[in-house]
Structure 1
Amino acid sequence: MTETLTKTRTVAIEREMPHPPEKLWRALTQPHLIAEWLMSNDFAPVVGHRFNLRGAWGGVLDCEVLIVEPGERLSYTWNYAHDDRAYNLNSVVTLTLTPTAKGTHLRMEQSGFLPDQMQAFNGARQGWQGFLEKLDTLSATLD
C-alpha cells in the first residue's frame, strides 16, 4: 500500500506596527473592530467558539477559535466551502504579537493551502496585505 502525503502551503506575512500589542489585540478580538479591517463577523475570543466571517463579495467563511493567548496569539480555522475543489478551503489563521521597542511585530500565518489551490493561495497573499494595512490604520485611531 502506498501512502500519498499532500504537502500544504502557508502564507506568512510579518509587519512591524507602531502600536502596542494591547491596541492590536483589541482590533483583532472585538467584533466591531474586526468588521472595520477584515469582515463582518460574530467573533468571540473564546476557544471553541464557532463564528462566521462575511465577505463583501457575499461569501461566508466558517471559523472556530483554536487559541486565545491575550495580547500574544490568536488562532482560528478559516474554512470556505465551494463546489469547485480549488476554492474549497480548510485552513488555519494564526496571528502572533511580539512587543518591540517601536511597537509590535505582527506575524500572520494562514496554513493549509493544497497544491491545486494556487488561486486561493495567491489571493490570500494579496488579501492579507490589504487586511493588515487596514489593521494598522485602524489601530492608529484607537485610544
Structure 2
Amino acid sequence: MKPDDNETRHVVVEREFSHPPEKVWRALTQPHLIEEWLMKNDFQLAIGHSFHLHGDWGGVLDCEVLAIEQGKMLSYSWNLTHDDPAFDLRSVVTFTLAPVPTGTRLRVEQAGFRPDQPQAYGGAKSGWPRLLSSLEQLLDRTE
C-alpha cells in the first residue's frame, strides 16, 4: 500500500544493553558522552533548550528538547535545513528506556519522514542501528 501524501513515516529501533538504565541515561544526556556515540553538540537536559548536532559530513541539525521523563524518556526535534527542500527534514527523536533483568531496553523512534524523503528515511533505518552499536561500545568502555 502506498502511503498517503500527507502521512509521515517513522523508524523504530530497539536494543537491549547489559548496563543499568542510569548508565544508558547518562550516555544519552551528557554532552561529552553524546559526542562519542552520536555527534558533537551543545546539548543541555532542559525542556525548551535549543541545541545543535554537528555531523561528520559537515551538516548541522537544529534541535530542541521537547520532553523529559528523568531516567526514562527523552524527546527532541531533529531538523535539517537543506538548499533542496526535498532534503529538509522536520522530525522528532524519542528515546525510551526500560529496565530489564539483563540491563536496559532502549527504544529509539524517529518520526516525521515525508513520503518524498526515501533517502532520509533509509538513512535513519540504517543509521540508528549503527549509532546504537557505537553507544554500546561507549557503555562497554566507560564506568
* Fold match by TM threshold 0.5: yes
CA distance in 2, matches of 1:72, 1:136: 18
Q: Which residue of 2 aligns with 1:136?
A: 136
**Matched pairs, number:** 140
The answer to whether residue 90 in structure 2 is matched with residue 76 in structure 1 is no
Q: Which residue of 1 aligns with 2:121?
A: 121
Letter in 2 for 1:21: P
Listed one character per residue, the Cα deviations across residues 75-110 of structure 1 (whole Å, up to 9, x for unaligned) are: 000000012122100000000000000000100000
Offset at 1:71? 1.0
C-alpha contact (below 8 Å) 1:18/1:102 kept by paired residues: yes
Offset at 1:68? 1.2
* Unaligned segments of structure 1, at least 5 residues: none
Q: Which residue of 2 aligns with 1:30?
A: 30
Q: Which residue of 2 aligns with 1:109?
A: 109
CA distance in 1, matches of 2:142, 2:20: 11
Q: Which residue of 1 aligns with 2:100?
A: 100
CA distance in 2, matches of 1:70, 1:136: 21
C-alpha contact (below 8 Å) 2:96/2:106 kept by paired residues: yes
C-alpha contact (below 8 Å) 2:62/2:78 kept by paired residues: yes
Letter in 2 for 1:60: V
* Unaligned segments of structure 2, at least 5 residues: none
Letter in 1 for 2:54: R
TM-score using structure 2 length: 0.95
The secondary structure found in structure 2 opposite 1:57 is coil
The runs of at least 4 consecutive aligned structure 1 residues that moved more than 6 Å come to none
CA distance in 2, matches of 1:64, 1:102: 32
TM-score using structure 1 length: 0.95
Percent identity over paired residues: 59
